[in-house]
A = this chain, B = another copy of it.
Amino acid sequence: MENSFGKLFTITSFGESHGRCVGVTIDGCPAGLPLTREDIQGEVDKRRAGASIASTSRVEADEVEILSGIFNGYTTGAPLCLLVWNRDVDSSEYEKIRFLPRPGHADYTALIKYGGFNDFRGGGRFSGRITATFVMAGAVAKKLLNLIGIEVLAHTIEIGGIKVETKRPDEIRRNVEKNPLRCADLKAAREMARLIERARKEGDSVGGAIEGIALNLPVGLGEPVFDTLEGDLAKALFAIPAVKGIEFGAGFSVAGKRGSENNDPFTIQDDKIVTTTNNAGGILGGISNGMPLVVRVAVKPTPSIAGSQLTVNLENRHSASLEVKGRHDACIVPRAVPVVAAMMAVTLCDFALRAGLLPRVIK
């Protein structure tokens, strides 16, 4: 396992879905950042079930505790340790299906890789609950990015085939927390809600897509040739369970484009060098070019569905049918929105430190 991410702003995630807690250490946070429990709690609350439609019935209070790294209300330069305890845990269903790997889940690969010693309850380390640790780290990263004017937004752009109209950042900012789908297109949001409700009633689930945007980036974030801005963001975002695709700017549509159409011409606007289009999604040569960074993430439908599914009993290697009881989201896309923003913030914060754009001590 590798549970650390980031070269200078390094987060280490720990904990399991049905263990005692999920937590994260953050090493490399500059000293002097004012930081309260509430700063982090606010972000964690967005990820909680119940905060969105279509959630699992497991509802955790998710009260953040800061175990280290803060003194007199400021970060100290020492590692932060943040956690939320697990309380509303019911593992009974999982014992029954221990050897019946759920299709689309990590049950099978985890059991084989860890020789059956993995904590399978609620998916253990592979549960979406682990992303609470990403969100805690992201809350700190966002505060740091805020110091240099960088803003990170994320919003739902597709659920079950229903796509949004393109929205401007101010609309996204204004609308995204107004509806449980975290969708800036309120009309599409209503349709998505109906679609999810229908899927839930049918014991099924739906997938979707999320767009992340970072505004006001300086030119120069990214450390090619291997630590490109795209590459590290993609790595960070693929750590979110259920993500199966990542694209930047024009993304996969470039396959059908010509260079004359895809190249973004440079021009001067308000005495700043900009491009007239943004097919590059704000990144050239793996380095931010000052335009909005635009990334889109494909999220598969929650694999936990109510209906009967075909699987193999790993004890006797016979085919078996499986019905998952548990408590699950019919669509995890809305809950994944703050997680996308969090992992973007963590990655950008690391690059800002690497580029020397964030100080070691904040004054």
A348 CB-CB contact with B under 8 Å? no
Contact, CB under 8 Å: B255 / A161: yes
CB 8 Å contact bits of A248-267 with B (1 = contact, 0 = none): 11111111111111111111
A344 CB-CB contact with B under 8 Å? no
Cα-based distance from A220 to B31 in the complex (angstroms): 13
With A81-B23, A226-B5, A246-B234 known to touch, is A115 a contact of B32 (CB < 8 Å)? yes
Contact, CB under 8 Å: B235 / A205: no
Tell me which of A43-51, A172-180, A298-306, A334-342 binds B. Answer: A298-306
- Taking the closest CB of chain B, its distance from the CB of A180, in whole angstroms, is 18
Cα-based distance from A10 to B319 in the complex (angstroms): 39
Counted per complex, copies of this chain come to 4
Interface size, chain A (Cβ < 8 Å)? 151
Highest count of chain B CB atoms <10 Å: which of A103, A125, A241, A259: A259
Cα-based distance from A146 to B18 in the complex (angstroms): 30
Contact, CB under 8 Å: A4 / B15: no
Supply 20 A–B pairs (Cβ within 8 Å), ascending by A: A14-B80, A19-B68, A76-B114, A76-B118, A78-B119, A103-B275, A104-B259, A106-B284, A199-B258, A205-B258, A224-B239, A230-B238, A231-B236, A244-B247, A245-B247, A254-B298, A265-B309, A265-B311, A268-B319, A279-B300
Contact, CB under 8 Å: B258 / A317: no
Contact, CB under 8 Å: A68 / B110: no
- Taking the closest CB of chain B, its distance from the CB of A253, in whole angstroms, is 8
A355 CB-CB contact with B under 8 Å? yes
A190 CB-CB contact with B under 8 Å? no
The 7 residue pairs across chains A and B that have the minimum distance between CB atoms: A106-B285, A245-B247, A115-B361, A205-B259, A231-B238, A265-B310, A161-B256
- Taking the closest CB of chain B, its distance from the CB of A81, in whole angstroms, is 4
